[in-house]
């Protein structure tokens, strides 16, 4: 008798009238919202505009879903095409089947389009959203729990996952408990990958796409050993599952990028969004400047007039029109001189008679 195990949900969908509400879809939606929220906070901290991450996600998320589905259908084509198969199932995303490799690759293409439209460097954007993507993957993995898929081999561990008979492997129909590989990957993505990227980015000031490359490399390490535990059907090459080979190749590419990028472009970008820099550079209004204890910049005409006004106050002769008034004043003074002389002479003639 098994004393402890993780039960699986009896069904992965509930209906609100005619509308199906699927657990798999809800996990993906919640993950996207968390990734955008955390990415926005990190983008603003780097000097970007708050709404930029969400605006670019409008491009990245649909491309990512399309890429994830394409990778799954291409690598597991025999599930949908061939004798006795229904090719329409290739479009039923809600039944599960999103390859993370295709989701990241095509999602990056969508992000590149969004970044290009806003004049933003893609590596800087990728660095900002990297830990959020890891957390989104960890949340999205719970969709596999709702669908009872992508589990490991049989186990008696107390955290074993109970799988209903309809979802068990054909080779072990009588065994009900299996490794919860969805849970292993969820914990790896959130507690290892996301936290590692957050710590390393803060400690080493990663830039130019190196935080994103670290996320990719760390994810590949976990995906490698977790993929090896799974028992669902997969193509094998030289004894390894296809996704193991993919993880190895992508890991090496990510590490190479970190090393080469650190040599060619050390440090971190100083400007991640030119629009944010232009907004910060706009001058304050006069009212805001006065309220902040700063006087508005004086007008150029006022500055030019100020010395002139001071000169007029010190010497009225410097006033406008003073030079033009000087000749008239001189003529008036000349005309007054004979009259003044005559009055003086008359006064001199009158004084002796008075004395006499």
- Residues listed for the chain: 356
C-beta of residue 35 within 8 angstroms of C-beta of residue 56: no
Q: What secondary structure letter does DSSP report for 356? A: -
pLDDT at 15: 87
End-to-end CA distance of the chain: 160
Token digits of residue 63: 């491309």
Residue found under tokens 């760390």 = 218
The tens digit of pLDDT for each residue in 269-293 reads: 999 998 776 665 555 544 444 444 4
In the chain, which stretches have pLDDT less than 50?
285-296, 300-302, 305-306, 310-314, 316, 319, 322-325, 328-329, 331, 340-341, 343-356
Q: Over the range 53-92, which residues count as b (16 or more CB within 10 Å of their CB) and which as e?
A: beebbebbbebbbbbbbbbbbebbeeebeeeeeeeeebee
Token digits of residue 119: 């004049």
User: Could you give the C-alpha distances from 9 to 142, 150, 180, 186, in angstroms and in order?
Assistant: 11, 15, 13, 17
Q: Which helix (H) or strand (E) holds 202?
A: helix 195-204
pLDDT at 36: 98
pLDDT at 350: 41
Number of other CB atoms surrounding residue 183 within 10 Å: 20
C-beta of residue 158 within 8 angstroms of C-beta of residue 4: yes
C-beta of residue 160 within 8 angstroms of C-beta of residue 178: yes
Q: pLDDT above 90 covers what percent of the chain? A: 65
Q: What is the largest CA-CA distance in the chain?
A: 162
Q: How many helices (H) and strands (E) does the chain have?
A: 13, 6
pLDDT at 97: 84
Residue found under tokens 């980015």 = 201
Token digits of residue 172: 């072990």
Residue 141 marked in a binding site: yes
C-beta of residue 102 within 8 angstroms of C-beta of residue 70: yes
- Rounded to whole angstroms, the Cα distance separating 193 from 202 reads 14
What torsion, rounded to 10 degrees, do the Cα atoms 16, 18, 24, 25 define?
A: -90
Interstrand relation of 161-162 and 19-22 (parallel, antiparallel or unpaired): unpaired
Residue found under tokens 């006004």 = 309
How many CA atoms lie less than 13 Å away from 244 in the CB half-sphere? Answer: 15
C-beta of residue 224 within 8 angstroms of C-beta of residue 232: no
Look at residue 277 and give its three-state secondary structure: helix
């Amino acid at each position: 008798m098994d004393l402890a195990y993780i039960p699986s949900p009896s069904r992965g969908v509930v209906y609100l009238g005619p509308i199906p509400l699927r657990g798999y879809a809800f996990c993906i939606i919640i993950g996207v919202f968390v990734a955008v929220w955390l990415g926005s906070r990190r983008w603003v901290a780097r000097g970007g505009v708050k709404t930029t991450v969400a605006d670019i996600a409008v491009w990245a998320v649909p491309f990512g879903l399309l890429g994830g589905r394409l990778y799954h259908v291409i690598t597991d084509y025999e599930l949908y095409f061939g004798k006795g198969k229904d090719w329409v199932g290739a479009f039923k995303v809600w039944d599960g089947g999103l390859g993370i490799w295709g989701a990241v690759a095509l999602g990056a293409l969508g992000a590149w389009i969004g970044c290009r439209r806003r004049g933003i460097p893609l590596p800087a954007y990728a660095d900002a959203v990297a830990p959020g993507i890891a957390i989104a993957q960890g949340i999205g993995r719970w969709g596999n729990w709702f669908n009872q898929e992508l589990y490991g081999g049989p186990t008696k561990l107390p955290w074993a996952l109970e799988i209903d008979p309809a979802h068990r492997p054909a080779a072990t129909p009588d065994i009900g408990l299996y490794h919860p590989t969805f849970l292993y990957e969820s914990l790896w993505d959130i507690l290892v990958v996301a936290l590692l990227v957050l710590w390393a980015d803060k400690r080493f000031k990663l830039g130019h796409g190196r935080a994103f490359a670290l996320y990719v490399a760390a994810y590949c390490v976990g995906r490698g050993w977790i993929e090896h535990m799974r028992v669902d059907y997969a193509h094998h090459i030289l004894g390894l599952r296809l996704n193991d080979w993919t993880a190895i190749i992508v890991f090496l590419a990510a590490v190479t990028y970190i090393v080469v990028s650190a040599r060619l472009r050390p440090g971190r970008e100083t400007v991640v969004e030119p629009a944010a820099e232009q907004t910060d550079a706009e001058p304050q209004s006069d009212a805001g400047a006065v309220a902040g204890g700063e006087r508005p910049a004086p007008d150029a005409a006022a500055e030019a007039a100020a010395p002139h006004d001071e000169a007029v106050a010190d010497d009225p002769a410097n006033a406008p029109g003073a030079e033009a008034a000087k000749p008239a004043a001189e003529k008036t003074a000349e005309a007054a001189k004979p009259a003044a002389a005559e009055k003086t002479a008359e006064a001199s003639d009158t004084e002796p008679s008075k004395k006499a």
